[in-house]
Structure 1
Amino acid sequence: MTTPVDQLKTAVIIEDDPEIRHILSEVLESAGFSTVSVGNGIDGVRAVLTYQPLLATVDVNMPGIDGFEAARRIRAAQSDTYIIMLTGLNDEADVVAGLGAGADDYLLKPFRPRELRARVEALLRRTRGDTTVPVAVTSAPSQGSVGPSFPGARPATSSIPTPALGADGPAVVPPAASAAAPAGAATVDDGWIAHRDLLLHPENRLVSIGGQDLDLTRTEFDLLATLLESKRRVRSKADLTLVLRGESYVTSYFVGDADKRAVEAHMTNLRRKLGDNPTNPRYIETVRGVGYRLTSELA
């Protein structure tokens, strides 16, 4: 049986190119992971459900089912593994499709191993489910140039403390909490943050609109919580990138155009779920050339 510690140290690589699989294995094993490598989407979904890894890299163009469908099936199975989508497709619509399918990050090929490592570290600094304990990637010598192949791979063990792991289930707001929140209030006594008819509980990671439950991905929730807590202060795309990386200050990690496009794609998906029209927004408005902020409380 796979233990929680095993889960913490396992990564599934879903990639049909043997050379790229080799590179991914080396990078992830150097970060202390045991890798499980597969060459198509169907086997990849099966490997994720079998090993329950902390991380999965998913190529977009694969035989059988593509990476978008693989990610959707992984999320449909209630897996909370972090998903990094890898692709040579640079069109914004493809980025939106990948993130909308359940990916946490989107990395364009060709990529630099250091960039992949930095993105993995950024993902693992973020919370999972309802825990607030950050997870850190540890440096460890590579255990081999190529990870074990599914289905014969064996998860590694580790002494790293195990965080609480939980899947993002549908958000449920207690009726009493909804009734207690005054319309347009910035904060509510029981921990809820309100903006118009939108309610969000940062600690319990719950959100609703007009009393209706809203199901957001981790990234969408983090973006919305950041904007609600910032109120009318504008947050730039670079700033939001650092928030998603778990950084509260400027670091040596470069915030490039791909990072900003990823924020735009996440914001597109978030607005769609909120039912918000960017041209006449009710909740989130775009400050052209700068970033995003909440709309005013006035209708």
Structure 2
Amino acid sequence: MKMLIVEDEAAIRQQLADYFSALNFVIETAADGEDGSYYATEYDYDFAVIDIGLPKVDGIEIIRRLRAAGKKYPVLILTARGHWQDKVKGLEAGADDYLVKPFHSEELRARANALIRRSGGSATPQLTFGSIVIDTSTKQVTVGGSFIELTSYEYNTLEYLALHPGQPISKTELTEHLYHQDFERDSNVIEVFVGRLRKKLDPENNLKPITTVRGQGYRFALEAG
């Protein structure tokens, strides 16, 4: 998942970047509202954490701008301000949730996962597609009740496709949202991961969970339920 962090306190910004990087998020950061506004409006993310009290441009204005630009990804406000008026302003500007400093990283992670799931149309951690169940909380996958061993790269690829069911996802989009800048962008590793997933999820080739869309990429073809 690709995440934007806009936070002017260097220690907190680095703490968040390190924590979510260890959870296989692709991280982009900004230290002030001007840079944060640029990233937030110009690029797409799966999730953003935006502080309110920022130099140059405040967080509320960043949220207004990104929503005006048509960006629909979930946004969580991170703020030292505990007044309810500030929370209301943030939510009315287009934020989806808020967290007051100081905070626990585990709570932020839980809120992030919940917002990402809901943006993909799921209210629970379990994404169920017939006999395939993907638990986005534990990062485990079962097929017919049996656990399937996946590498982190394989799981990330599967989760992203499953959170966008029915949509063609290009290899470029998968790479940008799931893997860090030093990932081999010109290689065919995405094809390798998809090939492995097909064999592990559907060894008999009966379910066909991931289909190839010629010229567009891959699509998770199963329906939820």
Is the TM-score greater than 0.5? yes
Deviations 1:123-178 (A, max 9, x none): 122144xx559593676xxxxxxxxxxxxxxxx9941342339xxxxxxxxxxxxx
Q: Does 1:53 align with 2:45?
A: yes
Corresponding position: 1:84 with 2:76:
yes
Aligned-partner residue type, residue 92 of structure 1: W
Match of 2:2 in 1: 10
Among residues 15, 30, 44, which one is paired with 2:22 in the alignment?
A: 30
Indicate yes or no: 2:102 matched with 1:104.
no
Contact 1:31 1:117 in 2 (8 A): no
- Identify the residue that residue 70 of structure 1 maps to in structure 2: 62
Q: 1:158-169 alignment to 2 at 5 Å?
A: 158-160=156-158, 161-162=160-161, 163-164=163-164
1:69–1:11 Cα change, 3 Å: same
Equivalent of residue 105 in structure 2, options 109, 113, 131: 113
On the 8 A contact 1:17/1:39 being kept in 2, the answer is yes
Which of 11, 19, 43 is 2:11 aligned to?
Answer: 19
Report the CA distance between 1:44 and its aligned residue.
1.1
Deviation at 1:34? 0.7
Q: After TM superposition, where is structure 1 displaced by more than 4 Å over at least 4 residues in a row?
A: 131-135
Which consecutive unaligned segments of at least 5 residues does structure 2 have? 128-133, 140-152, 166-225
Written as runs of structure 1 = structure 2, the 5 A alignment for 1:254-265 is none
Q: Counterparts of 2:94 and 2:137 in 1: how far apart (Å)?
A: 22
Task: Judge conservation of contact 1:49–1:79 (CA < 8 Å) in 2.
Answer: yes
Query: Secondary structure of 2:157's partner?
Result: coil
Pick aligned residue for 2:34 from 42, 51, 63: 42
Greater Cα radius of gyration, structure 1 or 2: 1
Q: After TM superposition, give the deviation of residue 45 of structure 1 in Å.
A: 2.1
Higher helix residue share = 2
Out of 110, 122, 127, which is 2:114 matched to? 122
Unaligned runs of 5+ in 1: 1-8, 140-155, 166-299
Residues 41 and 65 in structure 2, CA contact (< 8 A), matched pair in contact too = no
The question of whether the paired residues in 2 share the 8 Å contact of 1:27 and 1:117 is answered with no
| Structure number having the greater strand percentage | 2
> What do you get for the CA RMSD once the two structures are aligned?
2.4
Cα distance between partner residues in 2 of 1:138 and 1:46: 34
Identity percentage of aligned residues: 35
Please list the CA deviations of residues 46-90 of structure 1 after superposition, one character each: whole Å capped at 9, or x if unmatched.
212333010110000011110100111011111011101000111
| Contact 1:25–1:35 (8 Å) recurs in 2 | yes
Q: Deviations over 1:255-279 (max 9, x none)?
A: xxxxxxxxxxxxxxxxxxxxxxxxx
- When the two structures are superposed, what TM-score results if normalisation uses the length of structure 1? 0.43
The separation in 2 between residues aligned to 1:10 and 1:125, in whole angstroms, is: 14
Amino acid corresponding to residue 43 of structure 2 in structure 1:
Y
* 3-state SS of paired residue (1:44): helix
